[in-house]
Structure 1
Amino acid sequence: MVKSIIVRAVVPFIVLFFLLGYMYPFSSISVAKSIAYEPDQVFVKEYVHSLKDLDKIRTFKDEDTRLAVNMMIKELHTKWLTNDSSLNMDRSELNAQIIQLTHIYDQLLKLRTKHAQHYDENTNAFLFLLIEDTDELKKQLMDIRDTAFSSRSDLQRAVGNAHMGFAQYLNRTISFYECYDAMK
């Protein structure tokens, strides 16, 4: 009798505990601190196609620009951006992305201070947009990583928005290089 009362009282709390842990994957009560992300197949195909255009970039007028663009290309090739199947993302993967974006941000700032006078107006404008986009993407990923009370669906939507942000970042990187390459 006493056992059945205890079981009836404890089991709902255990079920609730695991249910809340599933619903809020980055909360302190979650067992598996990762989220599954299923990207749009058509979007990934277009992204990979644009990425192939960026991979054709080979000539640079200075070493700093080459280094910055190659860092951006490496970041844009990240598995979760180019994979069209479902994958799990955890905090360590988000941390790695944030660290890489921080390095790119620093490199772009260095490029802006060191080479701004050598770039034309359009190239400087795209460089400024890339700096802003890098910072914004870093903030988006930090918000995803640091949130404890967002639901699984909110986190999946946020990752999808970050994926779209990286697509815009890819297009801006291509535009920056095209302006840079067209300079006399």
Structure 2
Amino acid sequence: MNKGKWTAAGITLFLLAFFLFLNWQYPYSFISVKKSIRFQPDPKVAEEYKTDFQSFRQHYYSNSVELASLTDNRTEFVLNAFDQKWLMSSEPVTMDSMKLNDILTEVQDARTLIMELAFRETYPQETKEYLKIALENSIEMESYLLMVKNNPSITRERSNSMFHQMHMMFQNELKMYESFYESYQQSYKK
């Protein structure tokens, strides 16, 4: 081969390697072929989340029958936002744009329901505070998800870190909503 062909082959290989590197390093970038990342949840966090969720769900279903109110009704649907397999499993999960859209939809639906409770129901001050924090947390989660979903310059390492952070945000939101619901039940029984 002559020198020109070697140069062209070298440039082509360099561009291909560079493209593959960018594709790997920036999984959600506009040049990425498959906009996804394999997220490996922390097994301890996933197990703790699963335990917390199941405990709250069991508490809700064992007590909501006697309290047929808007809060009880909406809580059933808010629970759906927390009932996501990727939050309760230590198995790796592929986070692609479709998965992120599904998670975002669940968070937005939960936020809408929490806002409805804030404006349509009357609660004692302590219960209002829990609801306010739960609403703030859901808005923060929604913003965070939008940032992850719409930022093509996030690296693979940063994406993994952000998914771990998102996992913790769900756990905190679950605990806060559970505190709100328990406070609501106590005030309702008085």
Q: TM-score, normalised by structure 2?
A: 0.91
How many equivalent pairs are there?
182
Structure 1 gap ranges (5+): none
Alignment counterpart, residue 28 of structure 2, candidates 7, 26, 29: 26
Q: Give the structure 2 partner of residue 35 of structure 1.
A: 37
State the alpha-carbon separation in 1 of the partners of residues 68 and 113 from structure 2.
Answer: 13
How far off is 1:104 after superposition? 1.5
Q: Give the structure 2 partner of residue 139 of structure 1.
A: 143
Q: Give the structure 2 partner of residue 170 of structure 1.
A: 174
Structural RMSD (CA): 1.2
State the alpha-carbon separation in 2 of the partners of residues 63 and 92 from structure 1.
Answer: 34
How far off is 1:62 after superposition? 4.2
Summarize the alignment of residues 7-18 of structure 1 with structure 2, pairs less than 5 Å apart: 7-18=9-20
Question: Identity over aligned residues, as a percent?
Answer: 23
How far off is 1:34 after superposition? 0.4
- Report Cα offsets for 1:17-40 as digits up to 9, x if no partner: 111011000001111100111111
Matched, 1:82 2:88: yes
Matched, 1:130 2:134: yes
State the alpha-carbon separation in 2 of the partners of residues 155 and 71 from structure 1.
Answer: 29
State the alpha-carbon separation in 1 of the partners of residues 34 and 54 from structure 2.
Answer: 35
How far off is 1:129 after superposition? 0.8
Q: Give the structure 2 partner of residue 180 of structure 1.
A: 184
Residue type of the alignment partner of 2:162 = A
State the alpha-carbon separation in 2 of the partners of residues 13 and 4 from structure 1.
Answer: 14
Residue type of the alignment partner of 1:150 = I
Structure 2 SS opposite 1:17? helix
State the alpha-carbon separation in 1 of the partners of residues 174 and 54 from structure 2.
Answer: 11
How far off is 1:63 after superposition? 3.5
How far off is 1:71 after superposition? 2.0
Residue type of the alignment partner of 2:18 = L
Matched, 1:92 2:98: yes
State the alpha-carbon separation in 2 of the partners of residues 39 and 156 from structure 1.
Answer: 9
Residue type of the alignment partner of 1:35 = I
- Report Cα offsets for 1:111-137 as digits up to 9, x if no partner: 111112xx1111111111111111011
Which segment drifts farther, 143-152 or 72-81? 72-81
Alignment counterpart, residue 5 of structure 2, candidates 3, 6, 17: 3
Alignment counterpart, residue 148 of structure 1, candidates 124, 149, 152: 152
Alignment counterpart, residue 68 of structure 1, candidates 60, 64, 74: 74
- Report Cα offsets for 1:36-78 as digits up to 9, x if no partner: 1111111111111111111111234344212321122111111
Structure 2 gap ranges (5+): none
Matched, 1:112 2:114: no
State the alpha-carbon separation in 2 of the partners of residues 62 and 91 from structure 1.
Answer: 37
Kept in 1, the 8 Å contact 2:47–2:89? The answer is no
State the alpha-carbon separation in 2 of the partners of residues 122 and 54 from structure 1.
Answer: 19
